[in-house]
Amino acid sequence: MATDGQKVVLITGCSSGIGLRLAVLLARDTQRRFYVIATMRDLRKKAKLEEEAGVTLHETLVIRQLDVCCDESVTECLNGLQDRKIDVLVNNAGMGQIGPLESLSMQDMQKVFDTNFFGVVRMIKAVLPDMKRRKSGHIVVMSSVMGLQGIVFNDVYSASKFAIEGFCESLAVQLLKFNVNVSLIEPGPVNTEFEMKLMEEVAKSEFPGADADTVRYFKDVYLPASHEIFVTLGQSPDTVAKEVIKVIAMRKPVFRYLTNSLYTPLVAMKYADESGNLSVRSFYNLLFNYGTIFHLSMNLLKCITCNCFRRRTVTPS
Ligand SMILES: NC(=O)c1ccc[n+]([C@@H]2O[C@H](COP(=O)([O-])OP(=O)(O)OC[C@H]3O[C@@H](n4cnc5c(N)ncnc54)[C@H](OP(=O)(O)O)[C@@H]3O)[C@@H](O)[C@H]2O)c1
Ligand SMILES: *[C@@H]1O[C@H](CO)[C@@H](O)[C@H](O)[C@H]1NC(C)=O
Ligand SMILES: *[C@@H]1O[C@H](CO)[C@@H](O)[C@H](O)[C@H]1NC(C)=O
């Protein structure tokens, strides 16, 4: 049970990756500022979290079942909480999807929206009445840099993150009146099981409906480049979790947090030319024309990030 002065933090998608590490690091906070309700849709996967939570289990961390795609599961989980009280809701659960559009089924695309968009909407809708009544709350949403800039072969994933960004931008204004704050976290690549899950899907697919050229661009150009980006620029889940903890602990949180400063130029490019020509052409050139320049710049970034730059950009906490 949470004690007075502890912030109750409910996190979705704690079976792996960022959610798991965030739950563990919050629960281990030496000042015991947080009481963590770590949720996952399938409790058969709870062993890893239990192990990493260690002595904090049942002290500052409890594990509950919650599927963001299921009304009953959300209702049951919230009704099981003391006074239904949540100070901070972290919407972390999400899934990726990559590949040529022609080879993806409408059903699989809808699943991405059901999880990344409607899953978050369902959670927020469920906690809002209590937060508004208490005139207190913080809603944190795990978006992505792909919620600011569409990235080739991630069409539907990007769209789902754009959708949640628009939703939150709209809602944040109304909620401010009730002293409920909304914050978006926008990580670049993070080295979790996320990429591996995508690669497993790709390995299974024969890309039905996609022409040979598109499949070739996807497999021989996009996939190696994407992998290189994860290896070169990828952050650890702990780094992202620590950023989220800083945001949760803030007295005056703002709306947007990019966790990887190497992605700021990408956002700057978008706003520097509102016609979109600059972004669209730059990404086109990066992918199709300048393969060698891509490798060169990746190597350059690798150099920079191994040395002082990384130490300066990732603020320790
Ligand atoms: N990794 C990256 O490069 C990256 C970059 C930017 C943003 N993000 C975002 O960060 C968040 C966490 O991703 P991650 O990198 O930690 O990947 P991950 O290790 O694959 O974790 C995703 C988590 O979401 C859970 N989940 C999926 N569908 C769910 C549902 N219907 N109900 C409840 N939980 C569900 C998964 O549970 P199961 O184990 O049951 O599937 C898993 O625990 C996602 O929103 C993702 O879009 C990731
Ligand atoms: C929300 O942010 C405002 C200022 O930005 C702050 O005064 C308020 O205390 C915050 N509310 C909560 C519940 O954190
Ligand atoms: C868009 O970019 C291309 C390539 O950089 C350039 O040739 C074209 O003139 C630009 N169009 C506009 C309207 O700026």
The Cα–Cα gap between 139 and 142 comes to 10
Helices (H), 6-105: 17-27, 47-53, 71-79
The Cα–Cα gap between 3 and 57 comes to 15
pLDDT given at position 317:
41
Note if 271 is an active site residue: no
pLDDT given at position 291:
60
Q: Which residues form ligand 1's pocket by a CB distance below 6 Å?
A: 12-13, 15-19, 40-42, 45, 67-69, 92-95, 115, 119, 142, 144, 187, 189-190, 192-194, 197
Element of type H or E holding 212: helix 212-216
Identify the bridge partners of residue 180 per DSSP, sorted by sequence position: 137
User: The tokens of 14 are what?
Assistant: 């704690």
Instruction: Estimate to the nearest angstrom the gap between the alpha carbon of 197 and the chain centroid.
Output: 15
pLDDT digits (tens, 9 = 90+) for 163-198: 999 999 999 999 999 999 999 999 999 999 999 999
Q: Contact, 244 vs 22, CB < 8 A?
A: yes
Across the beta sheet with 7-11, what order do the strands follow? 61-65, 34-40, 7-11, 88-91, 137-142, 180-186, 256-258
Query: What is the SS3 assignment for 63?
Result: strand
Question: Which portions of the chain are predicted below pLDDT 70?
Answer: 290-317
Indicate the CATH number of 7-206+235-261 among 3.40.50.1450, 3.30.230.70, 1.10.1740.10, 3.40.50.720. 3.40.50.720
pLDDT given at position 169:
98
Domain map (residue ranges) of the chain: 7-206+235-261
Q: Give pTM, 2 decimals.
A: 0.93
Q: Which atom of ligand 3 is nearest the CA belonging to 277?
A: 1
pLDDT given at position 1:
85
pLDDT given at position 305:
54
The Cα–Cα gap between 54 and 223 comes to 37
